[in-house]
A = this chain, B = another copy of it.
Amino acid sequence: MLSAFAALPALPMLLPTFALAQLSASPAGQTPATNPLPSWNDTAPKKAIFDFVERVTKQGSPDFVREAERIATFDNDGTLWAEQPLYSQLLFALDRVKVLAPQHPEWATEEPFALLLKGDVRAALAGGEPAIAKIVMATHAGMISMEFTEIVRDWIATAKHPVTGRLYTEMVYQPMLELVAYLRSNNFNNFIVSGGGIDFMRQWTDRVYGIVPEKVVGSSGKTKFEMQNGKWVLMRLPEISFIDDGPGKPVGIHEHIGLRPIAAFDNSDGDQAMLEWTTGDKSRSRFGLLVHHTDAVREWAYDRDSKVGKLDKALDAAPAEGWTVMSMKDDWNKIFPFGSK
């Protein structure tokens, strides 16, 4: 796939992300008097969101939830930004392998690096999780935390999406930016809970979604506090600390937030446990939503058979669980801040 990507023309689309700036002009604590979700069609999902928010925020309502407990959790890949044709963080890792290759002559014969460097991403990733873990460890560890921060910030500021040529931070869903802002304006406490790397996301989620580093929950590697050249540093070790995916998501939520969310926004089977945990307590108000990727023209259409963001069991479970399933094609009149793919 890398070779296919490399063949794409580099499109001159370095527009800054402007969606957040537009949205945050509306002061926190106030609901815009007019439609706060303009990119959502007037279909059932939008009505369900409005209905839920009204019930839990209305003083005296039997479903009222006090502000301190209005925890909302958002998956990131495929829920807040695009995850096709590959998770952005994996594309970051592949870019890093190319940058680091001159320092690693052994990669010429060591898999999955050799295949990657020949441009055969598909074959390299066929090694599955062990291969991906090797790539991630080689690109995310062995440096201090501040160095990794700089590398991610440089990459996210310049790297282009392989299909659209846009910055990755432009590949965010305009309707979800509106939803995040709408919940915030109703004094919800928004968190990202993603299988992605916590230190990868934290470098840009505040700027792009208005979600600060402490409100990002993700997968992490171990770090070690140590002295290097007379300075205290956190060294990134090539060792997994926590995988914030599948049944790990409720664990990550518990560890980081300490309260059970009342709303969760997701898109794949990897998010099912997070939805179950959020909506499983039937004695209280709760809301679960699945983003169904149904728009092959404006975004991508995929679900049960996709290797990235597979949505199968969670889709089957949705009706009985009461989760709202929204269709990108039918329920969103705009996909990205700049329009469509």
Contacts from A to B (Cβ < 8 Å): 68, 145, 189, 198-199, 202, 206, 212-216, 220, 222-226, 231-232, 234, 241, 247-251, 254-259, 273, 276-277, 280
* Chain B, residue nearest A223 (CB): B251
Decide: B68 and A212 in contact? CB cutoff 8 A: yes
Decide: B258 and A216 in contact? CB cutoff 8 A: yes
CA separation between A199 and B215, bound complex, in Å? 18
Decide: B206 and A68 in contact? CB cutoff 8 A: yes
CA separation between A35 and B258, bound complex, in Å? 34
Given A256-B256, A259-B213, also A276-B232 (CB < 8 A):
yes
- 3 closest A-B pairs (Cβ-Cβ)? A213-B258, A232-B280, A225-B247
CB distance from A65 to the nearest CB of B (A): 15
Decide: B225 and A277 in contact? CB cutoff 8 A: yes
CB distance from A330 to the nearest CB of B (A): 30
Residues of chain B contacted by A220 (CB below 8 angstroms): 255
Q: How many copies does the complex hold?
A: 2
Decide: A254 and B223 in contact? CB cutoff 8 A: yes
30 A-B pairs whose Cβ atoms sit less than 8 Å apart in the complex: A68-B206, A68-B212, A189-B214, A198-B258, A199-B258, A202-B258, A213-B258, A214-B214, A214-B256, A214-B257, A214-B259, A216-B258, A220-B255, A222-B251, A223-B251, A223-B254, A224-B251, A225-B247, A225-B248, A225-B250, A225-B251, A225-B273, A225-B277, A226-B247, A232-B250, A232-B277, A234-B251, A234-B254, A234-B277, A256-B256
CA separation between A257 and B232, bound complex, in Å? 18
Residues of chain B contacted by A231 (CB below 8 angstroms): 280
CA separation between A247 and B277, bound complex, in Å? 33
CB distance from A324 to the nearest CB of B (A): 19
CA separation between A248 and B226, bound complex, in Å? 11
Decide: A213 and B247 in contact? CB cutoff 8 A: no
CB distance from A328 to the nearest CB of B (A): 28
Residues of chain B contacted by A212 (CB below 8 angstroms): 68
